[in-house]
Each structure stands twice: as C-alpha cells, then as structure tokens.
C-alpha cells in the first residue's frame, strides 16, 4: 500500500526540489510521478537532449528512498516539432488541422510523430533502466479513442474496413447502404465521418469508425509498450485513464499492460437530490474490473478543481483522506495525489494540489499526512484481493452505439449501470464491473443492462449462466440490434426472449416523466418492508386511487422513469405493473424460472428506492451476501487474503451516521456492525473467514 504525489519539477525553481522532497518524506510519501508533460524541457531542440535536470530530480527522491514513476512525455510534443512537421497535428471532423497550444493535439498514427516518440522514449528509458528507484512508466496521458481524420488516419480506417469485410459488397450489406443511396462502389469512398451532422450518418458505419478509433489508440499504446520493454524488460508499464468523451475499449487498452491506473476526482459537493448518484465507488469498481485485478490511482483529488471551468467548492474536512481510503477499499494498491504543488502558471493554476499558492502547509496538507500515516500501517493488505457475488456487464460496443443514437432525453448507457451498482452498494454488497465477454462462473448475480447491440456469443454466454443456476437481470433496450448495429426484426428482447419468458409489444420513451408502478408478490413485500408500515399503508391506499390523486411521495417510492417497455408475459411471473397511461396494467418487471436459474426483466428505469428494493429481492433469492439496515451513503467493501478479511465501512456523506447493521448469507453471515461514522470517515474491521 503506497501513497504518492504527482510532481512537476520542470515547473519549479530547483531550490524548491529538496524542500519539497523533504516535506514529502516527512509526510510519508512513497512514490512520485514525473515528466508527464516535459518533452520541451527534455528535448528543447530536435535531437538536442537535456535530461540533466531530470537526473537531479530523480536523485533527490532516490536519496530519500522515494520511488519514481516516469511518464513518456508524448501527450505534449514541443512546438518545434509541430512547426517543422505540421503533418503530425490532428485533423478534426471539419477537415482542418486543430489549433495547437493545449495538449493531446498529435496524430497517434503519424509516421513522423511515431519516430519522434521513439527517439525521446529511447533516450528516457535507456537513461534510467539501471536506476533501481525508477520503477516504471506511464504511457502518454489520458488517452482517448483516436478520432483524427488526417490522410494517414483516413487510410488506416479504410484498411480497417477492408480487412474486416473483404469486399465492398459485404460492406454495403453490413451497413445497409441502400438507405439514402449510400452504397459504395469503391473502398476509396470510405472516409472518416467529416462534417457537422454526425447524428445523421449511418449508425453501422459510425460504430465501425469508433471501433477503429479505439483499436488505433490500442495500437499506439502497444507501440510504446513494446519499445519500452525492448529497452527495459523489467519496467512496470501502465497508462492513466478517465471517463472521457471518446473512451477507448479499456479491456483492449490494458490487456498487455501491467496494471490499470485511473485519474480519480470525486465530487466536493454532496447533492441534495437523493436520485443523483455521486459516489465514485462505481468508477473504482469499473477500474478493478478491467483486468479483474487491483489497480492504481495515478491522479487523486487534492483540492478545489478549476481550470477551463469555474472552481469547485473546497474539500470538506475528511474528504481528502476519505476518498483516498475509498479507492483503497475498492482495490487500489497505490494512490498518487494530483498534485504536490498548485501550479502558479498555465491553464491548471486553479486545479489545486496539496500545497496552495501561498506555499504554507495547511489543512489539506495535515490531512494528507494523516492519510499517509494510516496507509503506511496497512502492509497487511499487500496481496489482498476483492471477491464479489455480483457482476455488472459493461461493453464499449453499447456505449458507442448509445452515443451514436441516443434513445431518449436524459438516458445514457451508464444510466442503468450506475443505478444497479448503487442499488447493490446500498445493500453493502460488493460489485464487480466486468467485460461483457468475461467468465461469469464465479458470480451468483449478473446484471446485463442495456444490451443494445448483441450477438450470438453473449446470448449463449448468458443462457449458460442461467442454466447453471445464475440470477440474470436484463433491462429495456436489450436485443435491439445485431453486431452490425442494425435493428433485429423480431419482438424484443429478441435473442433473450426465450429465457426471459416475455415479449415487448410496444415501448414508450417517457424521458423525465415518472410512471407509477404497482409491485406484486414477493417484490411488493420487499417494497413495503423498506418503506415502513405507515408509509406502506399510505402507498397501498394511494396506488388504487385515480391518477389525479396521486401522491408525490408514493410516486417517488416505486416509480419508473425514462423508458417503459410494455411487456407481455409468456410464462414469466409479473413483479410489477404500470399504473397509468394506455398501458396501465401491463407488466413492467418480470421474473422467469429458466432451467436452474432466474431471469429478471426490468422494462423501465426504477427510481432509487425501487431499485434498492429490487436488488434486495434478488439478493434474498440468490443467497448472496448482503447487509440489512445499512444507511444509504454508507459503503461496505471487503478485501481478503487467505483466511483474513478486512471490512471497510465508508460514510460517503456530509452527515454523521450511527447504525446497527447485520450481514446476511455468505461466510460472514450474522456479523453485526454497530458504528458511528463522521462525514467521509472510513473504518476498517479485521476478521477471519469462518471466525
């Protein structure tokens, strides 16, 4: 377990370096990341290298036994490179070279740029490969899928399509190019999606472009990884990522890297609306699920954020330590805070670090020291892992397809992933977010939200999971399209219909409206128990009244929003029905016994209370481990090693909470938690499996 910082020595007078290193050592820092954007200082003129300053910085930290993680500085090529080789600049969707002066404006595919990357990386790795304190390299910075449209990338995309389909006739068939007279007669007509009207372009073609763009970035990472390892085979290699606009397929991106690293910036403002999901537990579980291994945080929130946007409110007391501990609880083995010093120049001068512009160690510095002291006593967690009963499936195919053709205002691909993750988290159940093609045999419950684009492989995988006794949750907008991003001409949910035991006769994209639901059977029991006796009585009374007398509290208790699939049961048990509109009385949620397992189909997007109730019913029926009476906002995670377990309880709210909760099912069944937690406080409870 390590706490570190991101440091930019090239931005500070050398007289500060020793002082900073001393303060870091005193605080308990174990690792620093450097050289991320330093290309112009490392190579001020072509082939004129200046590494002496970096040598000195590395030596300063090595003397204090602080490890160094270097970065290939390729995100920000120097201006001399762009001036001499303008063909290395990205081309936008408007067909023009983009304006330079920020960062990331290079074409990853440019042969000239690749050569220049090779030269600077070779200089760096060759220089530090024998330095025991330089432990690895971050490739570039926050890479997005490569949407460059320059002539080189145009030909790369054309080659991608040619290799995938072989003939132009097959391309036309897959894309359905007979629509709008879009048929190609030659591969030369296949180009990147230029122009303003991106949403009008053929969705099949657009999905392939996004697939290509992701693969292009993966190829760029592979180029750098192979180069580094050819020079230093022992070096650890990663790249940092975030939830960007054009996300590459992270499973491909990190497949051959040593570990995943993430830039983690949780909110500094806790929303008042209970429907607004703000916890970064989702992000952290997503990162752990990419390789299904522990990960690093390469940039961690340290203060107010402000750069291209106005500044966010200051961190509340406990946030800096609490959010870092939250990351560790979800599988982070190393957390580096961005940044040690708040910059005094450049666009990020108000993106605050540990030390403010006043150069006086303050409240956040003291909290950072407290964090380091705590984490430096957690050596017992080294080698510990996280094992969970629940998996949520993620697919970049779905995310791309949903961005290409948004289904209803306010509904995004992540909408349902986050909602189900939150629901099980509110039950104290750990959740893995994994690739939709992962092995599912270790899980009791699999949630497969919004399988918008599908194929035979995923249908067979999920069917086998259920046949063997698994509990599967399917949702609206599943089975809509085939792998070519074309609609399947069959009743929804098409390839999943048989095991779901239902068909969707029609659907209603309701957007921000709410649709009152009437739960039935076991689901109704769980809903009413969670609401409490008096609230349940009022709910039961109101649900039978006319629409004009609806009680808003009841609507918020169990309601659907955004989307309504109108379901006809074909053997499935109905768990909830719609209570208004022309489809009043039609099924909204069902459960179907299929072989040894259960398939739940949720035709709407439940509001939070309903979602938690549904998750609780599934937890009960699957026999998975969960917790009763855990306050909303308190998160429970478990790390284990051998027979040892460590339970983390994190109060991710700005209010003090007291509670008495109990574990149901699993190896820790019967375990009771009687806790009082301050805002953003984390407590860690050790135990022995079976003890």
The residues annotated as belonging to the active site are: 142, 299
Residue 381 neighbours by CB distance under 10 Å: 20
- The answer, yes or no, to whether the previous bond of 77 is cis (omega within 30 of 0) is no
Tokens matching residue 502: 């239902």
Q: How many CB atoms lie within 10 A of CB 652?
A: 24
User: d(Cα 178, Cα 204) in Å, to the nearest integer?
Assistant: 13
Per the listing, tokens 């699920």 go with: 289
Q: CB-side exposure of 89: number of CA atoms within 13 Å?
A: 18
Tracing tokens 């430096």 back to the chain, one arrives at 376
Positive or negative torsion for Cα 480, 483, 486, 491: negative
The HSE-up count of residue 352 (CA atoms within 13 Å, CB side) is 23
Among 204, 157, 151, CA closest to 176: 204
> Cα separation of 331 and 519, whole Å?
37
Between the CA atoms of 182, 186, 187 and 192, what dihedral angle is there, to the nearest 10 degrees? Answer: -40
In angstroms, the CA 459 to CA 470 distance is 14
CB of 77 within 8 A of CB of 113?
yes
Judge residue 83's burial from the number of C-beta atoms within 10 Å of its C-beta, 0-12 exposed, 13-18 middle, 19 or more buried.
exposed
Using the CB atoms, write b or e for 183-212: b if 16+ within 10 Å.
Answer: bbeeeeebebbeeeeeeebbbbbbbbbbbb
Q: List residues bridging with 559 in a β-sheet.
A: 516
Q: For residues 219 and 111, what is the distance between their CA atoms, to the nearest angstrom?
A: 13
Dig out the tokens for 75 from the structure. Answer: 């995100």
Contacts of 447 (CB under 8 A, 6+ apart): 390, 391, 392, 393, 420, 472, 473
CA dihedral over 509, 421, 431, 664, signed as positive or negative:
negative
User: In terms of C-beta density within 10 A (0-12 exposed, 13-18 middle, 19 or more buried), how is residue 309 classed?
Assistant: exposed
Determine how β-strand 597-602 pairs with β-strand 502-519: unpaired
Locate tokens 């449209």: which residue?
Answer: 149
d(CA 505, CA 485): 21
Q: Dihedrals φ, ψ of 494, to 5°?
A: 50, -105
């Amino acid at each position: 377990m390590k706490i570190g910082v991101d440091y930019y020595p090239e931005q500070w007078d050398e007289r500060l370096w020793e002082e900073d290193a001393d303060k870091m050592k005193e605080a308990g820092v174990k690792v620093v990341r450097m050289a991320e954007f330093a290309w112009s200082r490392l190579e001020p003129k072509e082939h004129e290298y200046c590494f002496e300053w970096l040598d000195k910085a590395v030596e300063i930290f090595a003397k204090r036994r602080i490890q160094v993680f270097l970065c290939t500085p390729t995100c920000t090529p120097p201006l001399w490179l762009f001036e001499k080789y303008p063909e290395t600049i990205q081309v936008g969707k408007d067909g023009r070279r983009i304006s330079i002066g920020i960062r990331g404006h290079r074409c990853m595919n440019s042969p000239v740029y690749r050569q220049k990357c090779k030269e600077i990386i070779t200089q760096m790795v060759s220089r530090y490969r024998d330095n025991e304190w330089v432990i690895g390299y971050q490739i570039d910075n926050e890479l997005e899928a490569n949407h460059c449209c320059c002539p080189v990338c145009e030909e790369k995309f054309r080659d991608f399509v040619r290799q995938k389909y072989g003939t132009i006739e097959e391309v036309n068939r897959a894309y359905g190019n007979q629509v709008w007279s879009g048929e190609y007669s030659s591969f030369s007509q296949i180009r990147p999606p230029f122009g303003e009207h991106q949403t009008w372009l053929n969705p099949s073609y657009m999905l392939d472009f996004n697939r290509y763009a992701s693969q292009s970035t993966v190829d760029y990472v592979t180029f750098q990884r192979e180069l580094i390892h050819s020079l230093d085979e022992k070096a650890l290699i990663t790249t940092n990522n975030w939830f960007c606009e054009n996300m590459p397929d992270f499973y491909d991106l990190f497949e051959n890297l040593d570990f995943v690293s993430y830039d983690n910036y949780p909110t500094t403002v806790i929303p008042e609306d209970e429907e607004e999901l703000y916890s970064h537990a989702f992000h952290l579980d997503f990162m752990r699920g990419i390789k299904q291994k522990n990960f690093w945080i390469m940039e961690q929130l340290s203060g107010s954020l402000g750069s291209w946007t106005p500044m966010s409110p200051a961190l509340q007391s406990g946030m800096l330590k609490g959010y870092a501990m939250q990351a560790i609880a979800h599988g982070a083995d190393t957390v580096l805070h961005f940044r040690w010093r708040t910059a005094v120049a450049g666009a990020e001068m108000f993106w605050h670090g540990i030390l403010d512009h006043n150069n006086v160690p303050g409240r956040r510095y003291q909290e950072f020291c407290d964090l380091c002291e705590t984490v430096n006593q957690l050596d017992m967690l080294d080698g510990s892992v996280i094992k969970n009963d629940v998996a949520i499936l993620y697919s970049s195919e779905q995310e791309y397809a949903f961005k290409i053709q948004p289904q209803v205002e306010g509904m995004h691909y992540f909408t349902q992933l986050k909602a189900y993750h939150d629901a099980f988290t509110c039950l104290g159940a750990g959740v893995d977010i994994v690739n939709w093609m992962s092995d599912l045999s270790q899980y009791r419950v699999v949630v497969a939200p919004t399988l918008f684009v599908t194929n035979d492989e995923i249908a067979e995988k999920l069917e086998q999971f259920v046949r063997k006794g698994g509990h599967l949750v399917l949702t609206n907008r599943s089975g809509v399209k085939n792998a070519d991003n074309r609609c399947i001409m069959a009743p929804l949910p098409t390839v999943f219909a048989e095991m779901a035991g239902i068909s969707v006769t029609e659907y209603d994209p309701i957007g921000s409206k709410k649709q009152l639901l009437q739960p039935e059977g076991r689901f109704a029991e769980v809903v009413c128990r969670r609401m409490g006796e008096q609230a349940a009585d009022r709910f039961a009374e109101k649900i039978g009244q006319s629409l004009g007398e609806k009680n808003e509290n009841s609507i918020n208790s169990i309601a659907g929003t955004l989307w309504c699939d109108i379901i006809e049961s074909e053997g499935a048990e109905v768990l909830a029905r719609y209570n208004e509109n022309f489809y009043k009385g039609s099924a909204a949620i069902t459960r179907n016994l299929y072989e040894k397992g259960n398939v739940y189909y949720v035709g709407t997007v439940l509001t939070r209370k309903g979602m938690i109730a549904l998750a609780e019913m599934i937890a009960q029926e699957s026999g998975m481990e969960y917790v009763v009476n855990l306050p909303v906002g308190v998160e429970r995670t478990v790390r284990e090693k051998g027979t040892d377990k460590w339970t983390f309880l994190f109060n991710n709210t700005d209010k003090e909470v007291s509670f008495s909760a109990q574990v149901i099912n699993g190896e820790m069944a019967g375990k009771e938690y009687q806790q009082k937690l301050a805002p953003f406080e984390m407590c860690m409870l050790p135990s022995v499996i079976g003890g």
